[in-house]
Amino acid sequence: MNLIREKNTPVMEQYLNLKAQYTDHLLFYRLGDFYELFFDDAIKAAKLLNIVLTKRGNSNGQEIPMCGVPAHSSESYLHKLIDLGFKVAICDQLETADEAKKRGYKSIVKRAVL
């Protein structure tokens, strides 16, 4: 997977850093009440899970493919992907947005693959 590493938002840069560690997994990346997938992961997951493929922002002038599922119902989607033979990494938030703001206005929510 060729992930563009220039001109990204801090959140997308965080995603790309995590994805680089899990290149052979579909990365479920927690953003608020949803798990989002980006780039090639989004294209694959949207087709396999029969969910909408959309776009989120740009990376070097190109739109970023994205799909997502509500966190409260993510388990069934995860099981389907695993049953289909995919490896899945789950990246969760380790703090709330309010906690991140207390660290500074430019701080983003801490996340890690669990």
Higher model confidence: residue 71 or residue 6?
71
Task: Kindly list the domain boundaries of the chain, sorted by start residue.
Answer: 10-113
pLDDT digits (tens, 9 = 90+) for 74-104: 999 999 999 999 999 999 998 877 887 787 7
Contact 31, 74 (CB under 8 A): no
- Per-residue pLDDT for 43 more than 90? yes
With a cut of 70, say whether residue 3 has pLDDT above it: no
Architecture of domain 10-113: 3-Layer(aba) Sandwich (3.40)
Least confident of 6-10, 32-36, 46-50: 6-10
Which pLDDT score, from 0 to 100, does residue 95 have?
83
Measured distance CA(99)–CA(91) in Å, rounded: 18
